[in-house]
Amino acid sequence: MITQKMKYALKALLVLADEARREVPEPLTIEQIAKRSDTPKRFLEHILLEVRNAGVIASIRGRSGGYSLIKKPAEVSISELLRLIDGPIAPLPCLSRRAYQRCDDCTDEATCRIRKVFAEVFWSYLLIIESLTLEDMLRSSAVADQVIGA
């Protein structure tokens, strides 16, 4: 399950990606992003700082400043964003590739039935989530808009 913080990050990035597709894109202020994404402004500042520090967006100071997407949507990995915002995505610490920890109560990982079952589910999840990008989400929302007639 993704956190509310991650949902806010994705909503904000989708707004910035939509703006980047305009003929003459402009940086968006936190207020504009919050309004367009229906996200509370007080949470966005911290979230956008994390995403900026990861090199996905840029912030421009000054009167005509704001935030803009600096990576192409196809280069923004959803799994990397999940790890950035929510931390490790593995259901068990012994399954994490980047934050591996042996389970405190485990005597033998090779024979652990809990690990085996969750490993199968997790690897299937990884195949999908690691292939997704912000571009996929943009396409998905465009298709959904056409279907519901928005």
Which amino acid belongs to residue 129?
Answer: I
Q: Is 60 exceeded by the pLDDT of residue 145?
A: no
Total number of domains constituting the chain: 2
Compute the average pLDDT of residues 19-23: 92
Instruction: Say whether pLDDT at 104 is over 80.
Output: yes
Give residue 64's pLDDT.
78
41 and 95 together in one domain:
no
Task: Please state, as a whole number, how many other Cβ atoms lie within 10 Å of the Cβ of residue 94.
Answer: 17
| Model confidence at 69: pLDDT above 70 | yes
What is the model's pLDDT at position 142? 54
Q: Is residue 143 situated within a structural domain?
A: no
Task: Give SS3 for 133.
Answer: strand
Are residues 127 and 97 part of one domain? yes
Range of the domain at 53: 4-73
